[in-house]
Amino acid sequence: MQLKGYTGFSLPSAARAWRIYIISIVWDFMIDVGIVGGSGYTGGELMRLLANHPEVKVVAVTSRKLAGKSVTTVHPHLKSIYSLSFEALNGKEVAERCDIVFTAVPHGTAMDWVPQLLDAGTRVIDLSSDYRLPTDVFEKTYATKHRAPRDAVFGLTELHPEVAHAKLVGNPGCYPTGATLAVAPLAKAGLVERVVYDSKSGISGAGMEPTETSHYPNMSQNIIPYKLTTHRHVPEIKQELSRLSPGIKVNFTPHVIPSVRGILTTAHVFAQKGAEETLQDKNQVASIYREFYKNAPFVRMADAVPKLSSVRGSNFCDISFEPEKDSDRLVVISAIDNLVKGASGQAIQNMNLMAGLDEKTGLWFPGMAP
């Protein structure tokens, strides 16, 4: 219906009032969520993203250090939107108030929270690395004894729809998300002998604490390779790709770039013997990706090489590829926002499925460009 020339909107206003009334009836069904460790970037990002989630209410945010202070003390962008204060709660207290809890505490600390939360009947999405790997792999990778192993689903939603029924989700690392999504379809098709990942991440991935690397004069006008052959995210990538293609070889080198957000992954894919021609065929490769991601709304096959600005602030993963002529190499590029699809957005996508919602709920908005 067209309302040409209206100035007062009397009719639609009435409709709106009515709708608001209806909505107020169902208000009680809002999901109450808690954030354990809300003072860092991923905690802040959870609040930013959940602010407009239609089915969720953030009811508790913990921080021992900042207990009693407004969440806007460290997250001034949330002012007027949130009136919550940090609280110094224990797991049981959080569980009593929440249906679902996000643990956004440092690696090695989540394992002190998760058992309490699960035992109290709450479902948990852990953004640390504590529940992403089998215990033995975790212990080897992090050189730490795991104090509280639990069954968990690896929360890369596109590959693990079973998160819908999980009690505990180990939300994937930021690098593994972009890296795995870039190559999974080809791996599953059995086309890949080796992937050489060269990943470039914004510095927000290193957290809120100032370090020598994050010092502006060091980071600006620079690109910093680090842990050239030993990054702790490698086992997650290997675990996911090996599931799809046993024996696949994976090499990975990460870099930090002078950008706050975003991970661009350059995947140099080398063909399995005999698969060289298939990888050279752009149409065939395109259809492999299309088929694999047909039910994955957040994976977009990009029309041109993906830009970090196209996904910035959003939950999308953009992917493109290009075969090298007369070669066994195919280059795949993926772009994500490390704090959204690489962390908090991914966690909410998992939460949506766990709560029986459409996975897009509250996350269906574009990136912020320019």
Q: Is 220 in the site for a copy of itself (CB under 8 A)?
A: yes
Local structure of residue 105 (DSSP, 8 states):
P
Q: Which of residues 137-156 bind a copy of itself (CB under 8 A)?
A: none
Q: Is 341 in the site for a copy of itself (CB under 8 A)?
A: no
For a copy of itself, which residue of 9, 242, 274, 287 counts as binding (CB under 8 A)? 9
d(CA 146, CA 171): 17
**Nearest-approach distance from CB 74 to a copy of itself, in angstroms:** 10
Q: Which of residues 21-80 bind a copy of itself (CB under 8 A)?
A: 22-23, 25-26, 28-29, 31-32, 41, 44, 47-48, 51-52, 55, 72-73, 75-80
What is each CA distance from 189 to 158, 269, 274, 310, 323, in whole angstroms?
16, 13, 13, 28, 16
For a copy of itself, which residue of 102, 289, 293, 316 counts as binding (CB under 8 A)? 316
Q: Are 265 and 182 in contact (CB under 8 A)?
A: yes
Q: Quick one: tokens of 361?
A: 């709920």
d(CA 98, CA 50): 14
Nearest to 157 by CA among 231, 238, 240, 242: 240
Q: Are 319 and 306 in contact (CB under 8 A)?
A: yes
For a copy of itself, which residue of 65, 143, 151, 217 counts as binding (CB under 8 A)? 217
Respond yes or no: is residue 174 known to be catalytic: yes
Name the residue with tokens 């020598």: 212
d(CA 348, CA 363): 8
Nearer to a copy of itself, 54 or 246 (CB): 54
Q: Which of residues 247-276 bind a copy of itself (CB under 8 A)?
A: 251, 253, 255, 257-262, 264, 266, 268
Q: Is 290 in the site for a copy of itself (CB under 8 A)?
A: no
Nearer to a copy of itself, 143 or 304 (CB): 304
Site stretch for a copy of itself (CB under 8 A), options 106-114, 128-136, 200-208, 240-248: 200-208
**Nearest-approach distance from CB 37 to a copy of itself, in angstroms:** 16
Beta strands across the sheet bearing 100-103: 56-62, 31-36, 100-103, 123-126, 168-170, 153-154
Q: Which of residues 154-183 bind a copy of itself (CB under 8 A)?
A: 165
What is the Cα 274 distance to its own chain's centre? 35
Nearer to a copy of itself, 128 or 280 (CB): 280
Q: Under DSSP, is residue 53 helix (H, G, I), strand (E, B) or coil?
A: coil
Q: Is 3 in the site for a copy of itself (CB under 8 A)?
A: yes
Catalytic one of 118, 152, 156, 174 = 174
Nearest to 369 by CA among 251, 210, 261: 261
**Nearest-approach distance from CB 279 to a copy of itself, in angstroms:** 11
Q: Which of residues 117-136 bind a copy of itself (CB under 8 A)?
A: 121-123
Q: Under DSSP, is residue 329 helix (H, G, I), strand (E, B) or coil?
A: strand
Q: Which of residues 90-109 bind a copy of itself (CB under 8 A)?
A: 99
Q: Is 355 in the site for a copy of itself (CB under 8 A)?
A: yes
Q: Quick one: tokens of 12?
A: 């639609």
Annotated catalytic sites, by residue?
174
